[in-house]
Amino acid sequence: MRWLLLCHALCFSLLKASAHTVELNDMFGHIQSPGYPDSYPSDSEVTWNITVPEGFRIKLYFMHFDLESSYLCEYDYVKVETEDQVLVTFCGRETTDTEQTPGQEPVLSPGSFMSITFRSDFSNEERFTGFDAHYMAVDVDECTEREDEELSCDHYCHNYIGGFYCSCRFGYLLHTDNRTCRVECSDNIFTQRTGVITSPDFPNPYPKSSECFYKIELEEGFMVSLQFEDIFDIEDHPEVSCPYDYIKIKVGPKMLGPFCGEKAPEPINTQNHNVQILFHSDNSGENRGWRISYRATGNECPQLQPPVHGKIEPLQSQYFFKDQVLISCDTGYKVQKDNAEMDTFQIECLKDGLWSSNIPTCKRTENDLERELESEQVTE
Ligand SMILES: *[C@@H]1O[C@H](CO)[C@@H](O)[C@H](O)[C@H]1NC(C)=O
Ligand SMILES: *[C@@H]1O[C@H](CO)[C@@H](O)[C@H](O)[C@H]1NC(C)=O
């Protein structure tokens, strides 16, 4: 009797000491309960940790399953888990309301790791033969099975055995995240006095992961005003100010924005001849972007009066910076400027709102004067 008790204590610790982990790294394999196909020993615990390469999942299927049944599998069981999640626990000979056996259904790991633990408690009332299972690595079709939108390809997805890669539509470049498609949009210079600038692909959703840069560059003396038109739609956040995508406007050292959301900024009168527009998009979201129409105006110059015996071309009610007019005289008269005679004379509206010169006068030409004098003498 004493020996029996001793054995119980000793054998128990011996068996517990036999609880061990088997590391498996093959693409397929075979696992069985201890002693299979004989009945498994009491008080044993074995864990098989299977790791296959990234891009594969593990499919486990049971050819044979025969374990002691207990309420919620608290005595003997086969537990299948990942690093942080129990996938399923099996026990018994057939599935009941509270216990599950594998049946014909394979178990599929969500990732490339699966841990299988077999445990038996200290006693078995009958003889149970345990289990016999196979596993194999199966390819993950990342293109169709990926649930997380944030990780899927932006444009095209290509699956291959053990992995996948993304590609982009014509005109786009794959971002270094290997997933989103960006555009090259940092080299835009606008030098016309009016123009329209939009986010790439406007009014279709703008590309992800892009840094766009637009410069409006006019001569000093012009002042650029900007007006947002049409749709304005930039990904925003209810609490944080433009954390994802935004447009910023830089005028001299001053930065306006960031702007985002669905309400366009008010028209902006920059009072400057150089304006820079920065547009940033992150790696997610489908928003339609923005459209800016800009106009550059200069200072207005004073009204002009044509000289006596002369005219101004073109004759307008208003003149602005950079406008030029040509002064010419009637027949028999010449433009007189700084003691020189000429046929025409040009003046220009300057950036500070002044004309480059006064309006010259028209003087009767010497020759004409003589001829007129002669003819007067003749008629006398
Ligand atoms: C086997 O996997 C289990 C579950 O993730 C883990 O707790 C255990 O540390 C692993 N054993 C070894 C030896 O890696
Ligand atoms: C993208 O792919 C390249 C080449 O296949 C690889 O070297 C790089 O580490 C990948 N980058 C990321 C962020 O996955």
pLDDT in tens, 235-294: 999 999 999 999 999 998 999 999 999 999 999 999 999 999 999 999 999 999 999 999
Position of tokens 């309006």? Answer: 359
Options 2.10.70.10, 3.30.300.90, 2.60.120.580, 2.60.120.10; which CATH number does 301-379 get? 2.10.70.10
Q: How would CATH label the architecture of 184-298? A: Sandwich (2.60)
CB distance 54 to ligand 2 below 6 Å:
no
Any ligand 2 atom below 6 A from CB of 178: yes
Residues 6+ apart with CB under 8 A from 82: 109, 110, 111, 113, 114, 115
Which tokens go with 138? 């199966």
Distance 74 CA to ligand 1 centre (A): 21
167 CA distance to ligand 2 middle (Å): 13
pLDDT of residue 9: 43
The whole-number average pLDDT for the span 161-165 is 89
Instruction: Report the nearest atom of ligand 1 relative to the CA of 49.
Output: 1
d(CA 107, CA 114): 10
Q: Whose CA is nearest to atom 12 of ligand 2?
A: 177
- Is the model's pTM score more than 0.75? no
Q: What atom in ligand 1 is closest to the CA of residue 83? A: 5
Instruction: Parse the chain into domains and list their residue ranges.
Output: 15-139, 143-174, 184-298, 301-379
Query: Is the pLDDT at 375 greater than 80, yes or no?
Result: no
pLDDT tens-place string over residues 347-362 = 999 988 999 999 999 9
- The DSSP element (H or E) to which 14 belongs, if any, is helix 2-17
Residue 104 φ/ψ, nearest 5 degrees: -95, -5
Looking only at the bridges linking them, the beta strands covering 45-51 and 156-160 are: unpaired
Q: What is the mean pLDDT of residues 306-327?
A: 93
Mean pLDDT of 327-340: 91
* Confidence check: pLDDT of 151 > 80: no
Side by side, the strands of the sheet bearing 333-337 are: 340-342, 333-337, 361-364
What percentage of the chain has pLDDT greater than the value 90?
74
Residue 77 CB partners (closer than 8 Å, separation 6+)? 67, 89, 90, 91, 117, 118, 119
Neighbours of 314 (CB within 10 A): 9
pLDDT in tens, 200-234: 999 999 999 999 999 999 999 999 999 999 899 99
How many other CB atoms sit within 10 Å of the CB of residue 74? 11
Looking at the predicted structure, is the pLDDT value of residue 5 above 70? Answer: no
Provide the 8-state DSSP code for 306: P
d(CA 136, CA 234): 47
Task: Pick from 24, 47, 82 the residue to mutate for probing ligand 1's pocket: most ligand atoms within 8 Å of its CB.
Answer: 47
**Mean pLDDT of the 121-142 span:** 89
**Cis bond upstream, residue 53 (ω within 30):** no
CA-nearest residue for atom 10, ligand 1, is: 49
Mean pLDDT of 170-175: 94
What's the pLDDT at 244? Answer: 95
The overall average pLDDT reported for the chain is 89
Rounded Cα–Cα distance for residues 302 and 321 (Å): 11
Q: State whether CATH 3.20.20.70 applies to domain 15-139.
A: no
Residues with C-beta less than 6 Å from any ligand 1 atom? 21, 47, 49, 81, 83, 115
Mutate to test the pocket of ligand 2, among 153, 167, 173, 178 (most ligand atoms within 8 A of CB): 178
Whether 15-139 shares its CATH topology with 184-298 is answered: yes
**Helix, strand, coil proportions of the chain in percent (round to 5)?**
10, 45, 45
DSSP of 145-166, one letter per residue? H---GGGS-SSEEEEETTEEEE
Query: 49 C-alpha to center of ligand 1: Å?
Result: 6
Q: Which residues contact 3 (CB under 8 A, 6 or more apart)?
A: none
**Atom 3 of ligand 2 has which residue's CA nearest to it?**
178
Span 7-36, average pLDDT? 74
